[in-house]
Amino acid sequence: MSQTFKTHFLHPRHWLTWTGVSILWLLVQLPYPVLAKLGSTLGRLARPFLKKREYVANRNLELCFPKMEAASRNTLLTDNFTSLGMALIETGMAWFWSDARLRKHFDVEGFANLQHALDQGKGVMVVGVHFMSLELGGRVMGLCRPMMATYRPHNNPVLEWVQTRGRLRSNKAMIDRRNLKGLVGALKKGEAVWFAPDQDYGRKGSVFAPFFAMENTATTNGTYVISRLSGASMLTITMIRRKDNAGYRLYIGNMLTDYPSGNEQAAAGYINKVIEDEILRAPEQYLWVHRRFKTRPLGEAASY
């Protein structure tokens, strides 16, 4: 992770990336109601060209909510692609909007919970969820209280520089998700660190636990390991896009005081239930296009 601009970023092979970044910068100068309309339209128009992602999202919804009627699932899927279009716009807002402009568009519920957790002096592991507005949520979170976050470095060096610069406008540092030592060290120093355990990271380092209607979902044991090594407090922070273009609300949950830190299997099931509850705040805004169930127990048929 580096905020240092390098001259090789200007090489012609990066010009297409710079063009895209420049267009995004220009777009997010528009008023928010226009951006909301634009993002929603982009999502709807993109759906016919993203058939693989549409299939994955629909399959995830079938697996998680098998009793949901087909019409209701299709409505949820339509709203999900609308939210996907907004995600692009919100990424530009996160990277390029000023603090003053951002503050006009969100409010916070539960800030005292974060302060209470920090007062314990043990660091705070912030359990995150992959909502479409995640990039913007990280920026907003930092405006409330600058913190750190784990992430996967971008393969494109220009986008890596742009996103890191944008994220650090209101936060302290980004930690490579593979850097367990750095993450635990930050927590032991009393920092608040965002960590999202809601994706399928493969068989290694995972256990199978229930997630919605799926009994066996590959769930990272990272939360369990980090908790035991750091002794950090835990809570959730989630940002939801409010209806009718009314901005955003950041929800900061109570400390997870009943986390079963002595049992890896129970801990995985517990954290999945916590994530379920957060998703149900706005299921249409969740990243259903991720292949959450690609890793199956040995001998079990593929989900996709």
Nearest to 80, CA basis, from 17, 126, 133: 133
Q: How large is the average pLDDT for residues 72-98?
A: 97
pLDDT digits (tens, 9 = 90+) for 98-140: 999 999 999 999 999 999 999 998 999 999 999 999 999 999 9
pLDDT digits (tens, 9 = 90+) for 63-81: 999 999 999 999 999 999 9
Q: What is the mean pLDDT of the chain?
A: 95
Q: How far apart are CA 290 and CA 97, in angstroms?
A: 27
Residue ranges of domains in the chain: 7-285
Token pair 């635990």 is found at 184
pLDDT at 121: 86
Half-sphere exposure of 78 (CA within 13 A, CB side): 6
Residues above pLDDT 90, as percent of the chain: 94
H-helix segments, 245-289:
264-279
* Residue 48 DSSP label: G
Give yes or no for residue 11 having a pLDDT over 90: yes
Report CA 58 to chain centroid distance, whole Å.
Answer: 20
pLDDT digits (tens, 9 = 90+) for 40-64: 999 999 999 999 999 999 999 999 9
| Radius of gyration for the chain, computed over Cα atoms and rounded to the nearest angstrom | 19
pLDDT digits (tens, 9 = 90+) for 17-29: 999 999 999 999 9
∠ CA 33-47-282, rounded to 5°: 55
Categorize the per-residue pLDDT at 160 as very low, low, confident or very high, splitting at 50, 70 and 90: very high
Q: β-strand 206-211 against 192-195: which pairing, if any?
A: unpaired
pLDDT digits (tens, 9 = 90+) for 174-191: 999 889 999 999 999 999
Q: How large is the average pLDDT for residues 133-158?
A: 94
Nearest to 92, CA basis, from 21, 32, 153: 21
pLDDT at 254: 97
Report CA 193 to chain centroid distance, whole Å.
Answer: 13
pLDDT at 2: 57
Token pair 């908790």 is found at 227
Q: How far apart are CA 285 and CA 83, in angstroms?
A: 6
Buried b (16+ CB within 10 A) or exposed e, 256-272: beebebeebeebbbbbb
Give yes or no for residue 1 having a pLDDT over 80: no
Q: How large is the average pLDDT for residues 90-96?
A: 97
Q: How large is the average pLDDT for residues 268-278?
A: 98
pLDDT at 255: 97
pLDDT at 244: 81
pLDDT at 134: 94
